[in-house]
Amino acid sequence: MSGPVTMALGPFMFRSHGFGYTDVSRKLDTTWAEIETAGRLNALQWTGARSETITITGVLFPAEWGGTSTLEGVRLAARNGIPLMLVSLGGKVFGSHAIQKVDEDRTYHDRHGAPGRNAYTIEVKRMSSGFSLLSLLGAI
């Protein structure tokens, strides 16, 4: 595995070669309660964030760059319910996340059944750290 570490999910390092990624998407879901009013549009009251989900997609070429054992480690952490910290190259800490899904699409198998290409998707959901002044300052 070579190349700089661009992101880490707990002890699992994403690199430019090996266990790399092609896309990262982020979805924030918030809720608003609708309050009926007379003679005008209904009022909306923000009730808070529901969830934040990050989806990481990538492609492994195990024969050339490896990365399969790292993906297996992510799968093991998911299977055992281990929350992991998500951190980017710039040092941005996204907080503790629970792995929701690990999907794979293995193709181009060799004569021993090993895939030559393995496209994967990892979906993680941010875990609540509770409400405090420190959590508000961290969001700025």
**What are the structural domains, with CATH classification, of the chain?**
5-138 (2.40.30.200)
* Model pLDDT, residue 81: 94
Q: Taking residues 17-34, what's their average pLDDT?
A: 88
Q: Taking residues 100-113, what's their average pLDDT?
A: 87
Nearest to 20 by CA among 79, 75, 68, 60: 60
Banded pLDDT at 140 (limits 50, 70, 90): very low
The pLDDT tens digits for 41-93 are 999 998 888 899 999 999 888 766 778 888 899 999 999 999 999 998 777 88
